[in-house]
Amino acid sequence: MTRAPGKTARLNRLFNPKDGRAVCVAADHGWMSDVTPNVMELRRILELVVRGGADGILISFGTAVRHGHLLRGKDSPAMLIRADWMNMPRLGASNVSNVLPVVNFKKMATSRARDALHMGASAITIYYFIGYGDEFEALNIEQAADFAKECRKVGLPLIIEPMAVGGMVTGVNIAEILIASGRIAAEIGADALKIPYTGDVKTFKELVDQAGVPVLVLGGAKSDVPRDALELVDEALRAGASGTVFGRNVTKAKDPQKMVADICALVHGGKTIAEILGEHRAVGQRLKPVPAQCIGCQLCEVACVRAHTPGYGQTRARLRVETPSLGEELKPHRPVVCTLCGQCADACATGALTIAPEARLVLQRSLCSQCGACVDACPFHLIFVEDGYPVVCDLCDGDPECVKWCKRGAIVLTEWKRRVRHVHAE
Ligand code: SF4
C-alpha cells in the first residue's frame, strides 16, 4: 500500500526536507510520572525548546489544549500527540516522586487519530510493550494495530515507541529484544519509531536496518553530563538513525534552548561534539561504559581494588556497578566510571586536583585543603575520601585494570579531548 498523501505531507513537516532528519523533544511526562520543575514549568520550557529550533514536540492532549498555540506558527515545530497512557512509571521504574500502590501494569488509549488531527497534530505516538510473552502483549499489539488502521484512514503518521519491559527482558538480551521490537512495530504499521539506544552502534544499526522506517532515538534517564547525551545522539546517527526524541535530557537541562540547539547542530548542522562543546584535539583516552554489555558480575570493581588498595573491600573501588532493583526491568546493569568530565577539577579552588596532559586525574596532596568540593562536584559520586584526602580514578596510569578484566566489553577506552571551555555547566 502506498502512503496516503496526508501522511506524507505531515511527515514532511516533521522531518527536515534537506536531510530527512528530525530533532524532537518529548514533554509528555507529567500525566504519567514525575511532578518536577520540567512539568510545572512546561510553558516556559516549551517556549525555550521552540526557540532552540526543535522540529517536533511530543505533548499530551491536555497540553495541546493549553499550549498548542506555541506550535501553530509557520516555522514552529510539528505537534506530536501522545495518544495512550500507562501506569508503569508509578511502579518505581522511573524517577517518580508520586509513586502510587499500583498492582497491575496497565495501558490504555486516550485520544484517537481524529482528535489529534483536530488539534493540528502532525503525528501521534503510542507505546508498544514487549517482553511479556502473554495475553497482555497480544492485546497491546491488537491495540497498536487499531491505531495504525485509524491513522491510515485519516492520513496521520503513527510513531510507535517500543518498551522492552516484560519479565523476559534482561540486561543481556535487551539489545536483541529492542531490535525485534522495532521490526515488529514497523510491521504493525509504524511510520517511524521512537526507541531507546541499544548501547552500541553495531546493534543499533541492525535495529535501524531491520525496521526500515525512520528511527528516532530517545534519551532515557537524565544524564548529569551533557556530553553523554550528545555522544548518544552521535552514535545513533552513525548507526543510521533519523534523529532524536529527547525528553528529560532537554526538559531538565539547565538551558533547554541550548541543549536543543546543540542536538540540532549535530543532527542537521554536521557539527562534531568537539566543535559544539568547544573542545580541541584528542590528547588521550578515557573510560566509557557500555551498559548493554554489562551482566553485573562486578569483576571490574574487584580489579580496581586489587590494583590500588589490596586488602580493602569493593567499597574502595574507583568505579561501581549499578544493578537494577525489583521493578526496574527497563534498566540494564550499569558500570559507572570516571569519564574525565573534569567537574571535580573545576571545583577544586586550590588547584590540587587537575587533569594531567596525559589524560588522568592527579591529586597534589600538598595543595589539597581537604575541603571536599571535588567529592560534592563529581556527578557520578565516584570520589571518596581516605585519610582525609580524595581518592580519584587514575586510569591505572593509562592501562585500566577494569577494561582488561571485563571480558564483556562493558567498559572500554575512548578518545578524550581536552576542553577549552565549559559550554554547559550543569
Ligand atoms: S578536597 Fe582537595 S582536591 Fe578536593 S577540592 Fe578540596 S582542595 Fe581540591
Tell me, using a 6 A CB cutoff, whether residue 374 lines ligand 1: yes
Tell me, using a 6 A CB cutoff, whether residue 423 lines ligand 1: no
Q: Backbone dihedral region of 340: left (phi > 0), alpha (psi from -120 to 50 degrees) or beta?
A: left
Atom of ligand 1 nearest to the CA of 383: 4
Tell me, using a 6 A CB cutoff, whether residue 314 lines ligand 1: no
Nearest protein CA to atom 5 of ligand 1, as residue: 348
Contacts of residue 373, defined as CB under 8 A and 6 or more positions apart, other chains included, come to 347, 348, 349
- Amino acid 137: pLDDT: 85
Contacts of residue 152, defined as CB under 8 A and 6 or more positions apart, other chains included, come to 1, 4, 7, 189
Tell me, using a 6 A CB cutoff, whether residue 371 lines ligand 1: yes
In the reported structure, the alpha carbon of residue 41 is separated from the centroid of ligand 1 by a whole-number distance in angstroms of: 36
Answer for the pair 426, 253: CB distance below 8 angstroms, yes or no: yes
Q: 561504559: which residue's cell? A: 289
| Bridge partner residues of 412 (DSSP) | 288
- Amino acid 86: pLDDT: 83
Tell me, using a 6 A CB cutoff, whether residue 256 lines ligand 1: no
Contacts of residue 275, defined as CB under 8 A and 6 or more positions apart, other chains included, come to 265
Tell me, using a 6 A CB cutoff, whether residue 350 lines ligand 1: yes
Atom of ligand 1 nearest to the CA of 377: 5
- Residue of 84, 83, 55 lying closest to 71 (CA atoms): 55
Tell me, using a 6 A CB cutoff, whether residue 370 lines ligand 1: yes
- 248-293 pLDDT per residue, tens: 889 888 899 999 999 999 999 999 998 898 776 667 899 999 988 8
Residues shown for the chain: 426
In the reported structure, the alpha carbon of residue 276 is separated from the centroid of ligand 1 by a whole-number distance in angstroms of: 29
Nearest protein CA to atom 8 of ligand 1, as residue: 348
Distance CA 21, CA 220 (A): 20
Tell me, using a 6 A CB cutoff, whether residue 373 lines ligand 1: yes
Give the per-residue SS3 of the chain.
CCCCHHHHHHHHHHCCCCCCCEEEEECCCCCCCCCCHHHHCHHHHHHHHHHHCCCEEEECHHHHHHHHHHHCCCCCCEEEEECEEECHHHHCCCCCCCCCCCCCCCEEECCCHHHHHHCCCCEEEEEEEECCCCHHHHHHHHHHHHHHHHHHHHCCCEEEEEEECCCCCCCCCHHHHHHHHHHHHHHHCCCEEEEECCCCHHHHHHHHHHHCCCEEEECCCCCCCHHHHHHHHHHHHHCCCCEEEECHHHHCCCCHHHHHHHHHHHHCCCCCHHHHHCEEEEEEEEEEECHHHCCCCCHHHHHHHHHHCCCCCHHHCCCEEECCCCCCCCCCCEEECCCCCCHHHHHCCCCCEEEECCCEEEECHHHCCCCCHHHHHCCCCCCEEECCEEECCCHHHHCCHHHHHCCCCCEEEEEEEEECCCCCCC
Tell me, using a 6 A CB cutoff, whether residue 361 lines ligand 1: no
- Residue of 227, 155, 241 lying closest to 196 (CA atoms): 241
Q: Backbone dihedral region of 351: left (phi > 0), alpha (psi from -120 to 50 degrees) or beta?
A: left
Tell me, using a 6 A CB cutoff, whether residue 359 lines ligand 1: no
Walking along the chain (426 residues) 10 residues at a time, the average pLDDT comes out as 84 94 92 70 93 96 92 91 83 52 70 94 95 84 95 97 84 89 97 95 97 93 77 96 94 92 96 84 86 91 90 84 72 88 92 89 94 95 94 93 94 82 38
Distance CA 344, CA 336 (A): 16
Tell me, using a 6 A CB cutoff, whether residue 348 lines ligand 1: yes
pTM above 0.85, yes or no: no
Distance CA 405, CA 400 (A): 9
- Amino acid 422: pLDDT: 41
Distance CA 233, CA 25 (A): 13
Distance CA 358, CA 220 (A): 32
Backbone angles phi, psi at 33, to 5 degrees: -135, -110
Atom of ligand 1 nearest to the CA of 351: 8
For a ligand 1 pocket test, name from 367, 369, 376 the mutation site with the most ligand atoms within 8 angstroms of its C-beta.
Answer: 369
Distance CA 317, CA 299 (A): 11
Nearest protein CA to atom 2 of ligand 1, as residue: 368
In the reported structure, the alpha carbon of residue 353 is separated from the centroid of ligand 1 by a whole-number distance in angstroms of: 6
- Amino acid 424: pLDDT: 38
Nearest protein CA to atom 4 of ligand 1, as residue: 374
Tell me, using a 6 A CB cutoff, whether residue 300 lines ligand 1: no
In the reported structure, the alpha carbon of residue 290 is separated from the centroid of ligand 1 by a whole-number distance in angstroms of: 30
For a ligand 1 pocket test, name from 344, 371, 383 the mutation site with the most ligand atoms within 8 angstroms of its C-beta.
Answer: 371
Answer for the pair 309, 316: CB distance below 8 angstroms, yes or no: yes
